[in-house]
Amino acid sequence: MSEVQQAYFDHAATTPTRPEVVAAMLPYLEHRWGNPSSLHVTGIRALEGVERARQHVARLLQAAPEEIVFTGSGTEADNHALIGAAHALRSTGDHIITSAVEHHAIHYTAAHLESLGLRVTYLPVDETGLVDPDAVRAAITDRTLLVSIMHANNEIGTIQPIAEIGAICRQKGVLFHTDAVQTVGHLPIDVHHMNIDLLSLSAHKLYGPKGVGALFLREGVNLTSYIHGGGQESGRRASTENVAGIVALGEAARLAGEEMEQEAAHATALRERIIHDLLRRVPDLILTGHPTRRLPNSASFCVPGLEGEAILLDLDEEGFAVSSGSACTSGVSEPSPTLLALGLPPDMARGAIRITVGRGNTGAEVDRLLAVFPRVVHRLREMSAHRPTLTEGLAHG
């Protein structure tokens, strides 16, 4: 397939790797390829890269470097938090609280723990996707070992009241984890002010490479190791470190910390234009998620009467990369559980479209998208209005 440059509006799926990040990681593939556990100079050079990255990631979260454990992804960090806590605290608890709108990395891990005999409470959300902190308080029992509520949702961008939920968990003496994969590098985070004990992040959502992430583990919180083997990461995550990937995450974190304010302002301005213009230009379009408490980069909608995938594919042909909110399993599009949790009917949820902007997007690209999107929706609606129903089709042979 030829490398056609699309206008990329799918930054919640992944972000392009910044050239500065690629430049920072290359020496660790070319010259500084040592094993950070080796005692010789070749090993020490690699170790220095890993430790510098740990400082950059820690600074972005207002954490201490020793509180950062590098992982192979955001998914692994989520698994580590839930499974590690369940094992470490099994003598005192067997109950986990999470929300109905978490990423699969949390939902499927929670389901795995349920299959091992733990109880999981999935808290509902309101029509904007918000979890009620009072519902968290009410759900905590003396058997609750962990509360895991995401910082911001990947499909609808809603930002949860994390500091408030964290304060309740702290008061009740329950560990609090947040999946911050969509927010680290995009929103200011202070793990101590926000009462967070465990936090997951992923490099490829902040202009780093795929296949590297981290778990923040508050000092004094001990999880049972989730990957068994060597003593890397102070015995908290076995396996030889992905040194180049970790260095890249560190550089991405450093740059994100420096540029967060201006990036957020840029994203918010583009996002607001997209939301306001599309709501005006596309009849019956529905904005999903919270009107104001949303990720700077995220505009998400439902287009009644159409499949999100059909819009995505037409926009793809027109040169735009966006996402539909539903997962496509063996050719059958299932409505997204997150959108159903907002109370949207399944037919409406099937029409989900997510547009997520990034640092490289320009006003001119947004202008083109705003011109093309209504045309695509109009064309698809015309087609579906004139398509024969199944029975009509059969009647005509």
Residues in contact with ligand PLP by the rule CB under 6 A: 73-75, 78, 103, 105, 150, 154, 179, 181-182, 202, 213
User: Residue 14 CB, nearest distance to ligand PLP (Å)?
Assistant: 8
Q: Which is nearer to ligand PLP, 54 or 186 (CB)?
A: 186
Enter the tokens of residue 89. 């605290």
56: buried, middle or exposed (CB in 10 Å: 19+, 13-18, 0-12)?
buried
Q: How many helices (H) and strands (E) does the chain have?
A: 14, 15
Active-site residue, from 29, 163, 328, 371: 328
* Closest among 26, 36, 160 to 98, alpha carbons compared: 160
Calpha distance 8→356 (Å, rounded): 9
Residue nearest ligand PLP, CB atom distance: 74
Residue 298 pairs with which residues in a beta bridge?
A: 356
- For 299-314, give the DSSP string: EEEE-TTS-HHHHHHH
Strand 332-333 relative to strand 144-148, pairing: unpaired
Q: Is 302 among the residues known to form the active site?
A: no
- C-alpha dist (Å) from residue 316 to 69, 181, 310, 324: 38, 26, 10, 12
Q: Which is nearer to ligand PLP, 98 or 154 (CB)?
A: 154
Q: Could you say which DSSP state residue 175 is in?
A: E
Backbone angles phi, psi at 53, to 5 degrees: -65, -40
User: Residue 154 CB, nearest distance to ligand PLP (Å)?
Assistant: 3
User: Residue 35 CB, nearest distance to ligand PLP (Å)?
Assistant: 24
Enter the tokens of residue 245. 């990937």
Q: Which is nearer to ligand PLP, 179 or 314 (CB)?
A: 179
User: Residue 242 CB, nearest distance to ligand PLP (Å)?
Assistant: 12
User: Residue 75 CB, nearest distance to ligand PLP (Å)?
Assistant: 3
Calpha distance 55→68 (Å, rounded): 9
Q: Which is nearer to ligand PLP, 81 or 376 (CB)?
A: 81
Q: Which is nearer to ligand PLP, 73 or 160 (CB)?
A: 73
Strand 144-148 relative to strand 95-99, pairing: parallel
Active site residues: 328
